[in-house]
Structure 1
């Protein structure tokens, strides 16, 4: 059997990283706010979303030991939640605006969306460099990046709601 079958490729490791980081941040937010929801049906939808995210995260983190350069996680303080949340929001905003620009048929709409896209790109850059220079997002250190994911996922999964 080929040794490559027992470990992840770099590109799939990074995709899994994006999914775990984004879903863990979302899970934390859902768990923090579910108790504020008074509508029973909406609260039930949030509870279903929490359960689905927990399952997704639990399944995805099982792949981390097969990631290139993975090392075991040591518990440490996590001060990156708000910065990571902003970075994730900025990244999704860039993606959404980039898609919207390609769908714009009206020149005025395309102009406005393009301007918004440039603003979103600037915000993403600022959020990225903020997290990077403080060591909250070690973009060039895959083992630390994956460690941060596992810590955030563990925090999200441990939270009560």
Structure 2
């Protein structure tokens, strides 16, 4: 083999190695592209599902605000009313400052009793108002349809 043939064979081997490297890079690129396209398709499917859920939701913005705000307002007002009634009852039970020593002894128990009763009353009011709001919204949705 002469020098020219040797260089030609060497160049051919380098060219084959370069071609194989490009083919390998192309295979890696194809795999990366496939992964990227699959990920984008999953995201697209999720967005489409969310859009369909939003468009098929029968609740209007007003319904959602009403569903959230009304029970909260009822719970807040009910809590204030309960607190006022509690204070009136406690003031009638212990009207004079002469029994402050007794009040201090019962303070922890009365505080715990108030907290438990207030929480129970607030939960009851919120639960009842939530069910009432749902009935009102259902009725409004039937009228809209």
TM-score by length of 2: 0.23
Structure having the larger proportion of residues in helix: 2
Which of the pair has more CA radius of gyration? 2
